Amino acid sequence: MNTNLITVCVTTFNRKEKLLFTIQSILSQTYTNFEIIIIDDCSTDGTQLFVENTILMLDKRIKYIKHIVNKGLATARNTAINTAKGKYFTFCDDDDVWSNDFLEIFSESAENYDDTYSFCSSIISRDTKVKAISSSFKDFILLGYTPPVASQFYHTKTLKELGGYDSDITSGVDHDLWLTLGFKSYNLLWLNTDLVTVNQDETEDRMTFNVDKRISGIEKSMKIWKNRIGNNFGELFFSFFKNNYQYNTYKKYILLSLKTKDYSKTFSYLVVLPKQLFLLDIKRYFNRKFKNEETLIHPTFTKCITETKLIIRRIEITRK
């Protein structure tokens, strides 16, 4: 049984009303050997007073660090990485909630793999007998997979050796880390289960729900990624990668605008949606619905990659 210390990073910025629920979900874990490092990225809403007077009183495993200026998500996580004492490192956003076996499941999985592996979790296969799939980060990236929100688990040693997250990236912070892991031949075990309840409050002015900020951030990241991806995976793949990123972004906002019944925005997003990928997505939907031939729940968009079938065959499937 794994009993190693796990570092849990919680970055926060002006969201003290939600922070307590997140911390309580971590404190309710069945796995108990962990430390929580709260990184306050220069909040101005009284977060510091709330943490010092309320949250720090809950458990001695909680630590608090405040940035004197706002530095962004990547730098905030790096502060936690540099402070971390745990063998493993994970994070929980300040408005998300874990299932109470989150750390137990990840720690038990990590015990069976060496430090070339990282871990994540979400439903990736319709086959309920599939426990996990594994391959290189490069294979997952080439197939079009992106990091599941708030369900990632790493060796702290690995993150420190990589130098942590790239502080120049403001949008796609997790994806940027996966690209780096892919370039350096690390591996990934993807658990076929959901372990997190992610906040989806569209009334908040968060980057996730602000189209202009999100698109601007993605364009900045693409400029950084262009040479890195082209040099490692080829220029053709970068072209696919960019279009796919754009497609997934606008698709998310289309679904959100439909939910909020803002149909004028729905139309404006549809106009700029990459049409070829839209048609391919519809085709994939009906293939899944009526044929159900694919093991993976997110089939590849990468028709530009001729070795797609070979990549899929390299993926190892662990069954229950």
CB 164 within 8 A of CB 77: yes
Domain end point (choices 79, 99, 119): 99
Higher pLDDT among residues 169 and 277, named by residue: 169
Domain range enclosing 81: 1-99
Decide if 47 is inside a domain: yes
Decide if 273 is inside a domain: yes
Higher pLDDT among residues 278 and 136, named by residue: 136
Buried b (16+ CB within 10 A) or exposed e, 59-94: eeebebebbeeebbbbbbbbbbbeebebbbbbbbbb
CATH code for position 63: 3.90.550.10
pLDDT tens-digit map of 199-243:
645 444 444 456 778 888 889 999 999 999 999 988 888 988 888
| Residue % of the chain over a pLDDT of 90 | 58
Burial environment of residue 234 by CB neighbours within 10 A (0 to 12, 13 to 18, 19 or more): middle
Decide if 26 is inside a domain: yes
Residue 256's H or E segment, with its range, is helix 235-259
Per-residue pLDDT at 308: 73
Decide if 143 is inside a domain: no
User: Which range has the worst mean pLDDT, 29-38, 219-228, 263-272?
Assistant: 263-272
Decide if 319 is inside a domain: no
Domain end point (choices 99, 128, 153): 99
How many structural domains is the chain composed of? Answer: 2
Considering the entire predicted model, what is its pTM? 0.90
Per-residue pLDDT at 307: 67
Decide if 252 is inside a domain: yes
pLDDT tens-digit map of 93-109:
888 889 999 999 999 99
| Residue % of the chain over a pLDDT of 70 | 91
Q: How far apart are CA 308 and CA 300, in angstroms?
A: 8
